[in-house]
Structure formats: structure tokens, C-alpha cells
Copies of this chain bind each other. A is one copy, B any other.
Amino acid sequence: MNEKQLKIWLNKRKSHKTSLNHDALLAGIRKGEISALSSAITLLESSRSEDRLVTKQLITSCLPFAGKSIRVGITGVPGVGKSTFIEAFGLLAADQGRKVAVLAIDPSSEKSGGSILGDKTRMNALSQHPNVFIRPSAAGDSLGGVARKTRESILLCEAAGFDLILIETVGVGQSETAVHSMVDFFLLLMLAGAGDELQGIKRGIMEMADTLVITKADGDNLTRAKLACREYQNAMHLFPANANNWIPKALICSALEKMNIDKVLETIESYINQVKINGHFDKDRMAQDKYWLHETIREQLISDFYRLPEVKAQLKEVEAQLTSGRISSFDAAEYLLSLYYNQKL
């Protein structure tokens, strides 16, 4: 009975007349056509409700063909050499015959007017490789929206046959938690160097990393990189263990000299092997699906609340009363909630 209701709901959507566009895109994606994949991802970013309907149908149609890639999150502050690393890393994997998609998540890009992947010229050689698809950051006004588009882009890329998906993010915001919750493996790029260990990385991100890579380990920097790597190796064995029994690694590499790029790929592959054997690969994927289900619900409910004109109009004043100690946090919450429920119910 429950299942029936759900099926009716899905079928009603499916039977909508936009199916022509849907069929063409699906066929193109399944053939691995970059043009169809690009158009579909562009459509994901549209806020028009007809477009949303097509993309929802498309995601549902792609689901049976998705999920078969390795999803890798790559983060690190600006200056760490992310695009140079991704270019070297992506080329290596592509040359080995992998189909590599590079996506980016950067909710702040809208404000700064540019995306972190920028134009493809930043990864010139990579973008021209026949096995590679590069897509700049999805635009959006909320992390949740950008995260949804990125998650959906992953599914479309997988349905188009891409088997290694790299998701780039900047290690300074809140997007790392989102990326961490949509990838199988989380790579943190760091610079060596006394004094700048801190590098503006947000607290907590280091403990998310499955592997930490010290970049630019070449020339004068090599000794410092080795030293930093040893320090991180020591530090990381003090961290609490992952549920999946993986002990985070620390590596050095040089994208310039193509040194150890293969080690990073091998590390990821050995991780994937391990978690596929011990069952954590599927377990984590399922947990991520549930996380996004509930996260989407949370975000919708919360943004619905803060969008209410009555709440908008009084929030500043309530916060002022709160920080001046005239009202408690819980009273303040109750008052704002009363505005919401009065309007809504």
C-alpha cells in the first residue's frame, strides 16, 4: 500500500509530456556522448520547473546505470596546487584507460564571480584528453543546492560511462562535509613548510581525510616535504580509527616532476579494494544515500522557515535581544517558531 502510493507518485511524474527531451538526452548519455552529458548537466542548473521535471526523470532513468565509478573528493586551500595535481593525476588515470570526470563544488564561486575550475585552460592537457570530461563548479545560492547538482552530475557522468569521478573543492568552507558525504575517498592536499602548517584549513577537515598528500615535493622543497610527511604520519596514527578500518596515509608528491602521482592512484585503489572486500564500500554508499535524503529534507524545512517574511522581518531584532541578554536562546527560538506556525498551520 505504501509502496503503491510511491509508485503512483513516480509514474505520474514519468508520464509527463516532457519525455521527448528526456529520451534524447538519455540515449546520448548512455552512448557516452559528451554533448548530451553537458546539456543534461546544464539542465540540472536550471531553475525552470519544466527543466527540473526533465532532469528528475533523467536521474531516475540513469539510476540503474549509475554507481559504478570510484568517487574521489580532492580538497586543499588555494595555492596548494590543486589544478596542477588534478591535471597530472587525471592524465595518469586517463592514460591507463579510465574515463575521468572532473567536477567542482564551490558555493562561494557565485559571489566571487568565478568558479574554482575556472575555464578549462587551467587544465589544458587534461581537458583535451579523449577520456576526460571537465565541468566547472555548479552555480547556486546555497550549499545544499550546489551539493544536489553535484550529486546528480555524478550520477549522470556514471551513466555516461565515467568510472573515476574527481570532485574538487576549496578547503576553507563548509563544502568539505558535503563532498565528504558524496565520495568514496577523500584526499587532502597540503603544503609543506614550517609555520604554515595551518594553512587556513578548517578544523575537522584533516580528520576527514583518507589520505593526506604533501604537494610540490620538488627542488628545494623536497626535504621539507619529507619532514612534514613524517610529522603527519605520526600525527595521523593518533587519530581515531575509521569505522572501515582504513588507516589514513600521508604521502608526498610532485605534479611538476610527475613523482608519486601513481602512488596516490595506487593508494586509492588499495583503499577501494579493502572496503569492497570488508563490505564498507556498499555500506558507505547506502549511508550516503540516506544522509542526502535526510539532509535534503532538513534543508528544505529550514530554508522554508527562514524564507517566511514574518521571520525575515523580525530575526535581526530577536538576535539583538538575544545577544544583549534580554531573552534566552530557547525563548527566542520559540517566539520565531510561533510566527512560523501561526502563518503555516
Asked whether A256 is an interface residue with its Cβ less than 8 Å from the other chain, the reply is: no
| Cβ of A5 under 8 Å from chain B | yes
A296 touches B10 (CB 8 A): no
A292 and B234 in contact (CB under 8 A), knowing A202-B240, A286-B323, A325-B64?
Answer: no
Judge whether A322 is part of the interface by a CB distance below 8 angstroms.
yes
Q: A238 within 8 Å of B by Cβ?
A: yes
Query: Complex Cα distance A221/B329, Å?
Result: 45
Which of A322, A327, A328 has the most B CB atoms < 10 Å from its CB? A328
Task: Identify the closest chain B residue to A341 (Cβ).
Answer: B304
Q: Taking CB as reference atom, which chain B residue is nearest A297?
A: B333
Q: Is the CB of A300 within 8 A of B203?
A: no
Given A2-B313, A240-B206: A332 touches B293 (CB 8 Å cut-off): yes
Candidate in A67, A296, A326 with the most chain B CB atoms within 10 angstroms: A296
| Chain A interface bracket (under 10, 10 to 19, 20 to 34, 35 or more) | 35 or more
Interchain CA distance A208-B179 in the complex, whole Å: 21
Q: Do A331 and B60 have beta carbons less than 8 Å apart?
A: yes
Is A335 in contact with B9, judged by CB distance below 8 angstroms? yes
* Chain B residues, CB < 8 A from A206: 207, 238-240
A277 at interface (Cβ–Cβ under 8 A)?
A: no
The A268-291 residues at the B interface (CB cut-off 8 A) are: 286, 289-291
Residues of B within 8 A of A155 (CB): 328
Across-interface contacts of A231 in B (CB, < 8 A): 234, 238
Q: Is A105 an interface residue (CB 8 A)?
A: no
How far is B206's CA from A155's CA once the two chains are assembled, in angstroms?
Answer: 35
- A234 CB to closest chain B CB, in angstroms? 6
- Report the bound CA distance from A273 to B169 in whole Å: 37
- Interface pair B301/A305, CB less than 8 Å apart: yes
Q: Is A220 in contact with chain B by the CB < 8 A criterion?
A: no
Residues in A46-89 with C-beta less than 8 Å from chain B: 56, 59-60, 63-64, 66-67
Among B239, B296, B338, the residue within 8 A (CB) of A329 is B296
Contacts of A198 in B (CB 8 A): 239-241
Find chain B residues with CB under 8 A from A344 CB: 344-345
- Min Cβ gap A276→B in Å is 17
Distance to closest chain B CB from A145 (angstroms): 11
The answer to whether residues A297 and B59 also contact, given A6-B314, A203-B242, A240-B203 and a CB cut-off of 8 A, is no
If A317-B2, A323-B290 touch, whether A328 touches B298 (CB-CB below 8 Å) is no
Check B333–A300 contact: CB distance below 8 A.
yes
Per the bound structure, the CA–CA distance linking A326 and B3 in Å amounts to 12
A20 within 8 A of B: no
Q: Are A152 and B330 in contact (CB under 8 A)?
A: yes
Q: How far is the CB of A164 from chain B (nearest CB, A)?
A: 20
Q: List 6 A-B contacts (CB under 8 A).
A: A60-B327, A198-B240, A199-B240, A204-B207, A231-B238, A294-B333
